[in-house]
Amino acid sequence: MLTPLLIAAVVGYFLGALPFGWLVARSRGINIFEHGSKNPGATNVRRVCGKGPGNLVFFLDAVKGAVATGWPIWAVALFPTEGSKLARVDIGSFNLVPPFAEFHLAVAGLVAALIGHSFSCFTKFKGGKGVATASGGFLVLMPLPLLCGLGVWLATFYTTRYVSLASMLAAIALPIAAFFFKQPNLLIGLGGVIALFVVLRHRANITRLLNGTESKFVKKPAEQTPSR
């Protein structure tokens, strides 16, 4: 079991370390580490480069989290070995419930992907805050609790216009929702650890929120055509 765990962790780290925020901004001639909040996450890319690039970064970061988490489950489903069972679907919660070994490999992949995303070897161990990558991983492991977290994010963002606050509250809501949906204890615990990780990665944002200096995400007013 140790060797598969190590493989899942290594693959997860290098997938998570793919610096999509830096690459997308760089394709537009911008070093994202020198602009805005100097964070390569989707929010800063969107603020600096525009809506399209920001949404693309969020999508790509979520995909790498989903792949890092899901490939052990999908590999067993597609290429079952002797004595292994195919991943099954729990109809009551709409969640994948993989066999014991693949479940732990998926968790290892997600944790490693978050570490890779936040401390990427490709960008001198600088990285994002892990919200999109974690979302992709939890979409594979427990989609309904993730949807609850998404609801909290949307409600907070459209009420306050603070992306950072919405991200932290959504992360905190995830393990709570996992508990009420009766997810495995490992996933509830993982959700709690990742929530703490996300909050710690937002330390600077928390300081700005308390000081009233955190930037709100406000739509730019449309340019008016000059009258003739």
Instruction: Report residue 132 CA to chain centroid gap.
Output: 3
DSSP 8-state secondary structure symbol assigned to residue 58: H
Query: What's the sign of the alpha-carbon dihedral 113, 85, 74, 143?
Result: negative
pLDDT at 99: 52
- pLDDT winner (highest mean) among 18-27, 75-84, 98-107, 211-220: 18-27
Residues 27-38, mean pLDDT to the nearest whole number: 94
| 3-class DSSP string for 19-44 | CHHHHHHHCCCCCHHHCCCCCCCHHH
* Residues ≥6 apart with Cβ < 8 Å to 185: none
pLDDT of amino acid 3: 86
- Name the pTM for this structure: 0.83
Note the Cα 201 to chain centre separation in Å: 13
Tell me which amino acid residue 195 is.
A
pLDDT in the model for residue 102: 77
180/93: higher pLDDT: 180
pLDDT grade for 60, boundaries at 50, 70 and 90: very high
β-sheet bridge partners, residue 89: 96
pLDDT band (50, 70, 90) for residue 2? confident
Q: Where are the beta strands (DSSP E) in 75-116?
A: 88-90, 95-97
Query: Other CB atoms closer than 10 Å to residue 225's CB: what's the count?
Result: 6
Where in the chain are the domains? 1-78+94-123, 142-214
Kind and range of the H or E run holding 128 = none
* pLDDT tens digits along 86-108: 344 343 344 444 455 678 899 99
* Tens digit of each residue's pLDDT (9 = 90 or more) over 43-52: 999 999 999 9
Q: Which helix (H) or strand (E) holds 10?
A: helix 2-17
56, 146 contact by CB (below 8 A): no
If you average pLDDT over every residue of the chain, what do you get?
A: 87
